[in-house]
Chain A
Amino acid sequence: MSTVLKTININKYFYDPEKFHVLKNISIELKNGEFVSIMGKSGCGKSTLLYILSTMDTQYEGTLILDHENMSLLNNTNLAKIRNEKIGFIFQFHYLLPEFTVLKNVMLPALKLGRQSEEIIKKSAFEKLEMLGVASQANKKAYKISGGQKQRVSIARALINNPKIIMADEPTGNLDSKNADNVFNILRALSLEQKMSLLVVTHDLDFAKKTDRIIKMGDGIIL
């Protein structure tokens, strides 16, 4: 199986309020189609790592290889393209554009990518919403739907460009257990049915146990 994501000796420091070595020699690897969870106590650096892996944070030392391409060599505009095309990101808080419709929120990354006509994008966005059971909300403004629905919409958005990898930072952390189960089952199904590669930060042990592999983190290190 080929590797979709790989890091070699990633180090990161925060300088404010004082110098703080938050990530120490992080070297991890994710195979194509793997469903991996990252666990660790609060404040150990999981989110910080995920922001680096998602290319949003470029202030680090070390090498990040995504889909066989070295991210450390790309400029911001090209990194934005990579995020658009190859990475689907699901946040802990349901981050949608509130004034746009649910459907438009899902369509935006595909419209930005611009590979397909608006009609086709609309159709596939609708299909994703159907798959996640929120198609009935498609034409509502995003701020008008519930938290659980928002999280499912943001999963649909993460999927719209058929990314190489989906990253999620505590995607169930803000949901009740019923909605959390629901989200987990969706991610599980993506992994099984669509051979999607997933990297999910969680502090929910039950959740983690059901993934293919658990990466355990201590203070800034892989255990």
Chain B
Amino acid sequence: MRNFGLILDIATTHLTSKIKQTIIAALGVMFGIGTYIIMMGFMTGLNQLLDGLILNRTPHIQIYNKTDPTQIQPIQRHQDFKFNWHHIHSIKPKSRLARIHDALPLLKDLKENKKVKGATPQTTCKVFYIAGANNLNGIINGIEVSEEMRLFNFKDYIVKGDPNSLRKRKNSILLGAGIAKKLSLSVGDKLQVLGTNGVSHPLNIGGIFQSGLAEIDDAQSYVNLKMAQQLLGVGSNYITRIHVKLHNIEHALGLSKTIENIFEVKALDINTANAQFDTGSYIRTLISYTVSITLLIVAGFGIYNILNMLIYEKMDDIAILKATGFSGNDILLIFIIQALIIGLFGGIFGLILGYSISIVIDNIPFITEALPTIKTYPINYDPFFYITGISFALICTFLAGFLPALKARKIDPVEIIRGK
């Protein structure tokens, strides 16, 4: 546009002559955008953290033995009663072992599957923890610790000691933090574990495990898979759970169905297991947008007011400009540019404000039992928020400036000149 430099010059001269009001208007935008950046950075940071917790820790597919009643009961198979009403109540599942039938072939199959990143066997047994005069009941999981670390970030939950002690010494145990506290035990101490078969085993504490969930930390501990099988007095094919991690989480549902079809097991995929989880993320995002947009609307009204006032004060200028050959559209553009300048500066400073406060929050210590790997508040610095932030600022100020600018375009210079 040929006149753009001139229009811009007039617009900025007006703004600088009313520098106080301009700054106040820009501050409104700044706080709107700043809040948006902080809210989004913090809320989605939290989302990612929780997502990470779930996704890193939770297997994409959990395989365990079926315990629900058989789908097709014997009476349904009987030809004689095919068209009769079946009056058998209170059907109970048949008694089954906790072990997965054919666990080793299944494990081998899974490890060969291209979609699978890894699969780990676990053997769970109920035990009593005994230290001195105290005892507690709980659960011990036998794991392949190096695979657990590779696939499920197991190391993050070992707050003291060394997870690799499970590999180095067969009778090492990673004790749940709650148990350790109750029995006042620490790394290096010894404790006895009494299996359900009545045999007790002396174990060395190689590390303390803390998941953040009290009911887990108060009951569960981890030992080597072989140790757990020994506690139960069973062979190496006795496996109660298989945890699968996929390369792509999207395949979880499909693969779990395939596994259930081929093997006599229950395969639970992560989406079904954590259905309620998405709702939390969604609500946090919604809150962030609601608060930010509310602030921007308030800032928008501020701009609207200030431009209206500016136009009222610059009535004479508008009349002169029109009398000397500026068109209505030139005038419109002058005021829209003023709005956009306020939006641009307010927006840029809003981004800076948001970024600075995000850094501050990012460095505030955030120590919680529930999240042992987290040391400070989580912040997401996704550039997407900064781009939407500045776009928001420009769109809002444009809308706020548009009505006053339309009014300025319509001003009749004759009325102003005659009015003197």
Chain A interface residues (CB < 8 Å from chain B)? 47, 51, 54, 56-57, 76-77, 80-85, 89, 91-93, 95-100, 108-109, 111-114, 157
Name the B residues within 8 Å of A157 (CB-CB): 324
How many whole Å from B14's CB to the nearest CB in chain A? 7
Q: Is the CB of A77 within 8 A of B325?
A: no
B97 at interface, CB cutoff 8 A: no
Q: Is the CB of B325 within 8 A of A112?
A: yes
Name the A residues within 8 Å of B420 (CB-CB): 92-93
A141 (CB) vs chain B CBs: closest residue? B17
Q: Is the CB of B417 within 8 A of A108?
A: no
Q: Total interface residues on B, using CB and 8 Å?
A: 26
Name the A residues within 8 Å of B369 (CB-CB): none
Q: Is the CB of B417 within 8 A of A91?
A: yes
Mark interface residues in B401-420 (1 if CB within 8 Å of A CB, else 0).
00000000000011001101
How many whole Å from B325's CB to the nearest CB in chain A? 2
Q: Is the CB of A89 within 8 A of B414?
A: no
Contact flag A80-B417 (CB < 8 Å), given A95-B316, A111-B6, A114-B2: no
A114 and B323 alpha carbons, distance in the complex (Å): 17
Beyond A84-B326, A95-B417, A108-B321, 6 additional contacts (C-beta under 8 Å) are A51-B417, A54-B323, A76-B328, A81-B325, A95-B323, A112-B324
A101 (CB) vs chain B CBs: closest residue? B13
Name the A residues within 8 Å of B326 (CB-CB): 80, 84, 112
Name the A residues within 8 Å of B6 (CB-CB): 108, 111-112, 114
Q: Is the CB of B316 within 8 A of A76?
A: no
Q: Is the CB of A83 within 8 A of B324?
A: yes
In-complex Cβ contact of B418 among A47, A85, A99 (8 A): A47
In-complex Cβ contact of A77 among B16, B319, B329, B418 (8 A): B329
B317 at interface, CB cutoff 8 A: yes
Q: Is the CB of B325 within 8 A of A109?
A: yes
Q: Is the CB of B325 within 8 A of A113?
A: yes
A109 and B418 alpha carbons, distance in the complex (Å): 21
A158 (CB) vs chain B CBs: closest residue? B324
In the A-B complex, the 4 residue pairs with the smallest Cβ-Cβ separation, listed nearest first, are A84-B325, A80-B327, A99-B17, A109-B324
In-complex Cβ contact of B323 among A56, A99, A100 (8 A): A56
A210 and B319 alpha carbons, distance in the complex (Å): 31
A81 and B324 alpha carbons, distance in the complex (Å): 9
B258 at interface, CB cutoff 8 A: no
